[in-house]
Amino acid sequence: MYTPNHFKSPDRASDLQLIRDYPLATLVAQGEAGLDANLIPLYWYDDGSEFGVLRGHLARANRLALCAGREILALFQSRGDYISPNYYPSKARDPRVVPTWNYSAVQINGVLEVMDSPEALRQLLSQMTEHHEQGQAQPWAMSDAPSDYLEKMLAAVVGIEIRIQSMQGKFKQSQNQSAENQAGVRAALA
């Protein structure tokens, strides 16, 4: 990912926060039929390794489930905002400005593995559900579904784990602009 120095992620904590805030990742893999991209919610876990792992699940019928042991690219991205030159107060003095986009992204390279354990899959799905349901007045739990239906749904998915080999963050938030222009961007986006 092209990342000029002034847009490099400030630290690993910022990268991990972006992943927590925007867990819907684009996974790109080289499969038998060529490049394949899928949107999959992924969650970071500290497994004691240098970078940790990402875990999620996908349909057993998804071609990605056949990519065990292969290198994969996971892209996490924040909301993006179009930045008009009109947001820059300096434009009144110097019209040499152009539009751009502000966004943050984390790119992860790793190796995809399929989780074989039904217990591990059930635990992962339960954790994901609890995380996303916690703000509900009556949080849904896996135990709310009829057990025969739940077993059928569980049989149709596989858990995945990506052993992270590298992580690169890019936080493009007008850092290359003056403080005056940065304030103008913040005001316009508010």
Q: What kind and span of H or E run contains 27?
A: strand 24-31
For position 18, what pLDDT does the model report?
Answer: 97
3-state secondary structure of 163: strand
pLDDT tens-digit profile of 9-44? 989 999 999 999 999 999 999 877 889 999 999 999
Q: What is the mean pLDDT of residues 134-151?
A: 94
Q: Whole-prediction pTM value?
A: 0.90
The candidate with the shortest Cα–Cα distance to 180, out of 87, 102, 99, is 87
Tokens 């684009």: give the residue: 26
For position 82, what pLDDT does the model report?
Answer: 97
For position 32, what pLDDT does the model report?
Answer: 78
5-116+136-189 is classed CATH 1.10.10.60: no
Residue 136 — pLDDT band, cuts 50, 70, 90?
Answer: very high
**Can you give the residue ranges of every domain in the chain?**
5-116+136-189
Q: What kind and span of H or E run contains 112?
A: strand 100-115
Q: What is the mean pLDDT of residues 133-138?
A: 94
